[in-house]
Amino acid sequence: MKSVVLSALLAIAGPSILAQPAQAAEGGPVKEHGTPQVREQVVQAIDAWRAAVVAKDRAGLERAYHDDLTYGHTDGAVLTKAEQIARTIVPDRDFTAVDVSNLAVRSYGNVAYVTATYAFHLLSKGETVERISTLPGLDVWTKGPKGWQLIARQLTRTAK
């Protein structure tokens, strides 16, 4: 009986259920939540982080990252604040730019969830051609005494 009811429900709801993942996979819009003021503050924090990455500004990264940072990379590494700063500031590699697209901010009190696609422009010593790593991700920003800080990030590879 359960399978008959489940089959009937899937037959009725199936097309709408299946349409949602396809839209999300194609980069469909994420509905934002929160006030325009909070969105602007979070975007300013992201811009400050981007500037710190490009400038190899350790103090700027210290401000941008929460002490409890968990930073997940596409290679499976999950880094702390100190480990992520060390991975970012490397003498023989420069981030020439970090572009952000498909940005959506959903804020709930002192927490903001950000979905975005990050394009990291990299130039290593001895190379003449810049590499660009384009990675979608989910960030969690939290607002405390030091303002908005990144407390968690998970980057993924772009779906093929």
pTM attached to this predicted model: 0.81
Domain, as residue range, for 77: 31-155
Given pLDDT bands bounded at 50, 70 and 90, which one contains residue 158?
A: confident
Phi, psi of 141 (to 5 degrees): -110, 140
Assigned domain for 72 exists: yes
Given pLDDT bands bounded at 50, 70 and 90, which one contains residue 159?
A: confident
Q: Are residues 136 and 63 both part of a single domain?
A: yes
Average model confidence (pLDDT) across the chain: 85
Q: Residue 50: its pLDDT value, please? A: 98
* Helices assigned H by DSSP within the chain: 2-25, 36-55, 58-64, 81-88
In the chain, the percentage of residues whose pLDDT exceeds 90 is: 78
**How many folded domains does the chain comprise?**
2
- DSSP, collapsed to helix, strand or coil, labels residue 147 as strand
Assigned domain for 160 exists: no
Q: How far apart are CA 131 and CA 107, in angstroms?
A: 33
Q: Are residues 8 and 74 both part of a single domain?
A: no
In the chain, the percentage of residues whose pLDDT exceeds 70 is: 82
Q: Are residues 146 and 115 both part of a single domain?
A: yes
